[in-house]
Amino acid sequence: MRDLFDMGRQFRKGVSMNARTLSDGEALNVPSLFQLWRPKTSYFAGQIVRRHSRYLFRVIQTHVSQIEWPPENAPALFRPVADQTIEFPPWVRPMGAHDAYDKGDRVSHGGRRWESAVDANIWEPGVHGWNEIAPSL
């Protein structure tokens, strides 16, 4: 019986290791492959963690998690995994160069649709560096 448990743990570890290669869109289709976020746990940049059973976050910088830093409240440490099939995902304020918008990135904000006109864009849409996209008729 112990051999089965060991085999199961090894299988889970292998699946988790391969899950790291999934794109954001692919990861959203299989959230249960990712570990639940826990405090006092070491996380590395690029890793995906699960929160509240189904919400996925990508780790921005390597750190040891703290109870006060859950993914949804720590934008300097985590960013939500986005569905790439959504043409205009909601704008999220960048925390720095690591998550700034590139030229051509599209977002929705303030009830409007926007496209970044510059690389390394950290500005809020409507303030600077964005072109409003007219709605389709």
Domain ranges within the chain, ordered by starting residue: 1-82, 86-137
Q: Is residue 22 within a helix (H) or strand (E), and if so which, with residue range?
A: none
Could you identify the residue written with the tokens 């986005």? 82
Report the mean per-residue pLDDT for the chain.
Answer: 84
Q: Are the beta carbons of 71 and 52 closer than 8 angstroms?
A: no
pLDDT given at position 43: 94
Domains 1-82 and 86-137 share a fold: yes
Does 137 score more than 50 pLDDT?
no
Percent of the chain with pLDDT strictly greater than 90 = 36
* Three-state secondary structure call for residue 70: coil
- Give me the mean pLDDT over the 71-75 stretch: 89
Which whole number is the average pLDDT over 41-60? 88
- 45, 60 Cβ separation under 8 angstroms: yes
Which pLDDT belongs to residue 37?
A: 95
- CATH no. of 86-137: 2.10.10
Q: How confident is the model at residue 13 (pLDDT cuts 50, 70, 90)?
A: low
Q: Would you state the CATH architecture of domain 1-82? A: Ribbon (2.10)
pTM above 0.85, yes or no: no
pLDDT of residue 136: 58
